[in-house]
Amino acid sequence: MRVVFATRNRGKLRELVPLFAELGLGFELVTIDELAPTAELREDGDTFEANALQKARQAAAATGLPALADDSGLEVDALGGAPGVYSARYAGVGATDAANNAKLEAALRGIPADRRTARYRCVAAFVDPTRGLEITRAGACEGTLLEAPR
Q: Which residues are catalytic?
A: 71
- Distance between CA atoms of residues 13 and 19, nearest Å: 10
**Within 10 A of 137 (CB to CB), how many other CB atoms are there?**
12
Q: Alpha-carbon torsion 143, 146, 149, 150, what sign?
A: negative
